[in-house]
Amino acid sequence: MRTLVTGGAGCIGSALVDRLLAEGCTVDVVDDLTTGSLANLAEARSVVGRRFSFQRLDVANLEIADYIARKKPEVIFHLAAQCSQRIAYAKPAFDAAVNIGGTLNVLEGAVAAGTTKICFTASGTTLYGTSGEVPTREASAWKPVSPFGVSKKSAMDYCHSYRETRGLEYTALALANVYGPRQATGPDPAVIASFAPRFLDRARVTIYGDGNQTRDFVFVDDVVDALWRSSQRAGGLVLNIGTGVETSIQTVHDRLATLTGFHAPARYEAALTHDPNRVCLDPGRAEIHLGWKPFTDLDDGLARTLEYYKVHPAARERATR
Ligand SMILES: NC(=O)c1ccc[n+]([C@@H]2O[C@H](COP(=O)([O-])OP(=O)(O)OC[C@H]3O[C@@H](n4cnc5c(N)ncnc54)[C@H](O)[C@@H]3O)[C@@H](O)[C@H]2O)c1
C-alpha cells in the first residue's frame, strides 16, 4: 500500500511510520519539524530500498496539495497539527490556520491524487467539551469549548464534508491521552512526557491541582494499531481510542515513583484553568468496528517510556528544559 503520513516525525506519527514500513507499505512523510524530529525517523530512514521518503513541509502551505497530488498515496494518515492548547488559546487564528486550513489543503491534495482513504487523528479529550458522561461515548454531544478543540472538530467536519461531496472516505480516531516513547515535550508537555524525565533525574515534579483529576492514558503502540486497522475499515465513522479506565495524575506520579525508586513528594500548584476534571473514553465502538482493544497496561507503558528516556539522553535533555 502506498501511504503518506503528515506529522510523521512526531510521537504517534513516527511510531506509525515504523509500523507501516514493517507491514510492507511505501511511506512518504511530510512534517515541518515544529515539535517532531528527524531523530524519531532514524529507524525508518535505515530501511533499504525506496519505500521511505521525508519532505519538510508546512501543511498550512498550499504546496502540500501539489505534493500529495504528485505522490498519489492510496491512504493518507493526517496527523500534522498544532497540538498545544496553550498556543491555541494565545493564537487561535494560527491554530485554525494549521488545524483547519492544513486539513483542507491535505483533503484537496487527496482528491487530486485519487486517494481512497484519510485516517484523521481527532482529539477525544476536547471533542465532547463538558458533556458530563464518563466514560464518554461517541453518541455524547460534540461541543468542544477550547479553541484547539474547535479547530480539531472543524477539521473532522471537513473530512465528513469531503466524504459526502467528493467521495473521499475517512475514519476519525478520537484519541484519549496518548503517551510513550518520542513524545514531544514542547512548550506545554503532556503529563507523562513531563514527569518521566524528571523522575529519572531525581527531580520533584509539579502537579497542577490536587492530583485527583483523571485522564485516560493510552499507549502509543496501541494507538498505532488502531490507525493501521482504520486504513481498511470503519469508513465515515468517529471512534474513541482510549482505555475506558480513569487514572488520576497522582496515580501516575506514584507509579513512576515505584518504577524509578524516587519517592520525593510532588509540589502542588493551582489547577490550570480550562483543564478538565475527568477524561475517560469508552472504546467499545472501536472494538466493534476495528476489532481493536488497548493492549498495553499502564505499568508496562510507563516502563517502556522511562526506558526510552534512559537510552535517549538527547530527548531527555529536551524534555527537562
Ligand atoms: N498525544 C495525544 O495525547 C493526542 C490526543 C489526541 C489527538 N492527538 C493528535 O494526534 C496527532 C499527532 O500527535 P502527537 O501526539 O504525535 O504530537 P506530536 O507533536 O509529536 O506530532 C505532531 C507532528 O506534526 C508536526 N507538525 C506540526 N505542525 C505542522 C505543520 N504545520 N505542518 C507539518 N507538520 C506539522 C510536528 O512537527 C510533529 O512532528 C495530532 O493531530 C494530535 O492533535 C494527539
Atom of ligand 1 nearest to the CA of 13: 16
What mean pLDDT is predicted for residues 69-94?
A: 96
Q: In 10 A of CB 124, how many CB atoms? A: 29
Q: How far is the CA of 38 from the centre of ligand 1 (A)?
A: 14
Distance CA(139)–CA(141), nearest Å, equals 6
The CA-CA-CA angle for residues 81, 225, 237, to 5°, reads 65
Q: In 10 A of CB 233, how many CB atoms? A: 14
Distance CA(191)–CA(185), nearest Å, equals 9
- Greater confidence (168 vs 48) lies with 168
Q: Answer whether 121 contacts ligand 1 (Cβ < 6 A).
A: yes
Judged by phi (left if over 0) then psi (alpha if -120 to 50, else beta), residue 244 lies in left
Q: Answer whether 7 contacts ligand 1 (Cβ < 6 A).
A: yes
Of 6-20, 231-245, 260-274, give the lowest mean pLDDT range. Answer: 260-274
Q: Answer whether 221 contacts ligand 1 (Cβ < 6 A).
A: no
Please give the share of the chain, as a percent, with pLDDT higher than 70: 97
Confidence of residue 188 (pLDDT cuts 50, 70, 90): confident
The CATH classification of domain 182-215+245-280+297-320, taken from the options 3.30.70.360, 3.40.50.720, 3.40.50.300, 3.90.25.10: 3.90.25.10
| Tens-place pLDDT, residues 134-186 | 999 999 999 999 999 999 999 999 999 999 999 999 999 999 999 999 997 66
Q: Is the pLDDT of residue 73 over 90?
A: yes
Q: Is the pLDDT of residue 273 over 80?
A: no
| Tens-place pLDDT, residues 192-230 | 999 999 999 999 999 999 999 999 999 999 999 999 999
pLDDT of residue 221: 98
Average pLDDT across the chain, whole number: 94
Residue type at 274?
A: H
Atom of ligand 1 nearest to the CA of 120: 41
Distance CA(38)–CA(190), nearest Å, equals 20
Q: Answer whether 216 contacts ligand 1 (Cβ < 6 A).
A: no
Distance CA(17)–CA(244), nearest Å, equals 26
Q: How far is the CA of 121 from the centre of ligand 1 (A)?
A: 9
Residues of the chain with CATH 3.40.50.720: 2-178+217-241
The helix-helix angle for 220-230 and 11-22 (nearest 10°) equals: 60
Measured by CA distance, the residue closest to atom 31 of ligand 1 is 58
Cell numbers describing residue 130? 463538558
Residues of the chain with CATH 3.90.25.10: 182-215+245-280+297-320
Cell numbers describing residue 52? 521511505
Q: Answer whether 123 contacts ligand 1 (Cβ < 6 A).
A: yes
Q: Is the pLDDT of residue 320 over 60?
A: no
Q: Answer whether 80 contacts ligand 1 (Cβ < 6 A).
A: yes
Distance CA(162)–CA(181), nearest Å, equals 34
Residues ≥6 apart with Cβ < 8 Å to 306: 196, 199, 200, 256, 259, 260
Q: Where are the extended beta strands (E) located within the chain? A: 2-6, 26-31, 52-56, 75-78, 117-123, 169-175, 177-179, 206-208, 214-215, 217-219, 237-241, 247-248, 267-269
pLDDT of residue 119: 98
What mean pLDDT is predicted for residues 276-293?
A: 96
Distance CA(248)–CA(204), nearest Å, equals 18
Residue type at 70?
A: R
Q: Answer whether 39 contacts ligand 1 (Cβ < 6 A).
A: no
Of 5, 12, 182, the one to substitute when testing ligand 1's pocket (max ligand atoms within 8 A of C-beta) is 12
Residue type at 107?
A: L
CA proximity to 135, closest of 83, 176, 85? 176
Q: Answer whether 242 contacts ligand 1 (Cβ < 6 A).
A: no
Measured by CA distance, the residue closest to atom 10 of ligand 1 is 121
Q: Answer whether 220 contacts ligand 1 (Cβ < 6 A).
A: no
Confidence of residue 49 (pLDDT cuts 50, 70, 90): confident
The CATH classification of domain 2-178+217-241, taken from the options 2.40.480.10, 3.40.630.30, 2.40.50.140, 3.40.50.720: 3.40.50.720
Q: How far is the CA of 79 from the centre of ligand 1 (A)?
A: 5
Q: Answer whether 315 contacts ligand 1 (Cβ < 6 A).
A: no
What mean pLDDT is predicted for residues 8-17?
A: 98
pLDDT of residue 223: 98
Distance CA(131)–CA(143), nearest Å, equals 7
